[in-house]
Amino acid sequence: MPKSTTLPSRPHDIRPSTARSAGGKAPRPVLKWAGGKTHLLPRILERLPASIDTYYEPFIGGGAVFFALAADKRFSRAVLSDKNQDLIDVYRALRRGAKGVIQLLEHYEYDKDTYYAARALKPANLDLNERAARLIYLNRTGYNGLYRVNRSGQFNVPFGRYVNPTICDPERLRAASRALRGVSLEVADFSELCRDARAGDAVYFDPPYVPLSHTASFTAYHREAFGEEAHKRLAECFDALRSRGVCSVLSNSNTPLTRSLFDDFPLDLVPVPRRINSKKDGRGDVMEILVTTGKTRKPPKRTALRKSRKKRVS
């Protein structure tokens, strides 16, 4: 009989997340994000375990999957990451508390001069709450809710034209703040973030997509490009997680490259509406891939899930 071994402690400072308090609303994304997962959410959630020890999401983006899992209390701990420092700062500020961010957002006005003045601000000269409020404002009032930077890392999305856009949604910000309590937030490469994942954990990957054509590329979320070599590294990481028994799910565009990289895994083609296009006739449904490391398992009904968790706590 093999000797029992003690697993090394995890380096992440993570504690259970509290998704909502009594009377609080369920958390939802606070940012509009290109490639957001609202339409794919049910398909992704049914491919993730009903009960997760530590949930990892290396490309957090708008966080739709994380917030949905937090609302249903399907993980004990969460580790979220992105290479986008501005984005992680929004979540770090909300994790600390929503009040300061809300107070700053309430002073922003929707007009062109205010927008370009905020865009010109250098995040390095702002405190955490100011950086978070600035990005939320730019996201809510910029063209199509895009996040795009130039080679110098400067945000360069033009002013958007909306009718009375919601700049500050206090209840949504407070709900997100509750969900982020105790969550580890890092600026790290996906391979670094996942190196401690083990059986019982789960990972969802939503990387910058492989472009469908040379003219369709839009991956400028960070000054460092996420090209073909990065996607190959991601496939290797995905395979390594499978070998360690970690349930993982990945979404990407449906291209010859992505199909070849993940042809050894269960792969489904799913239609998804895409509206980030300068021409209206260029917006519509496109096929994407959903890849898993193994068999999928639908979560039990919420009532049953709550009862099972109460038993474990007691």
User: What contacts 195, CB < 8 A, 6 or more positions away?
Assistant: none
Residue 290's H or E segment, with its range, is strand 284-292
Amino acid at 205: F
Q: What is the pTM of this model?
A: 0.84
Strand order in the sheet with 267-274: 184-186, 75-81, 52-57, 202-205, 247-253, 284-292, 267-274
pLDDT tens string, the chain, 314 residues long: the values are: 333 333 334 445 444 555 544 457 899 999 998 776 878 999 999 999 999 999 999 999 999 999 999 999 999 999 999 999 999 999 999 999 999 999 999 999 999 999 999 999 999 999 999 999 999 999 999 999 899 988 888 999 999 999 999 999 999 999 999 999 999 999 999 999 999 999 999 999 999 999 887 655 544 555 567 899 999 999 999 999 999 999 999 999 999 999 999 999 999 999 988 665 545 555 578 899 999 997 544 443 433 333 333 433 33
Question: Is 64 a domain residue?
Answer: yes
Task: Tell me the pLDDT tens digit for each residue of 75-128.
Answer: 999 999 999 999 999 999 999 999 999 999 999 999 999 999 999 999 999 999
Assign residue 301 the CATH number of its domain. 3.40.50.150
Question: Is 28 a domain residue?
Answer: no
Question: Is 22 a domain residue?
Answer: no
Instruction: Check residue 219 and give its pLDDT.
Output: 46
Question: Is 15 a domain residue?
Answer: no
Question: Is 171 a domain residue?
Answer: yes
Question: Is 281 a domain residue?
Answer: yes
Burial, 248: exposed, middle or buried (Cβ in 10 Å; 0-12, 13-18, 19+)? buried
Q: How far apart are CA 116 and CA 224, in angstroms?
A: 24
Q: Which domain, by its residues, includes 160? A: 41-313
The radius of gyration of the chain from alpha carbons, rounded to an integer in Å, stands at: 20
Question: Is 33 a domain residue?
Answer: no
Other Cβ atoms closer than 10 A to 101: 27
For residue 121, the SS3 value is coil
Provide the number of structural domains found in the chain: 1
Question: Is 10 a domain residue?
Answer: no
Question: Measuring CA to CA, how many Å separate 157 from each of 10, 107, 162, 220, 244?
Answer: 39, 21, 15, 11, 41
Q: How far apart are CA 243 and CA 237, in angstroms?
A: 10
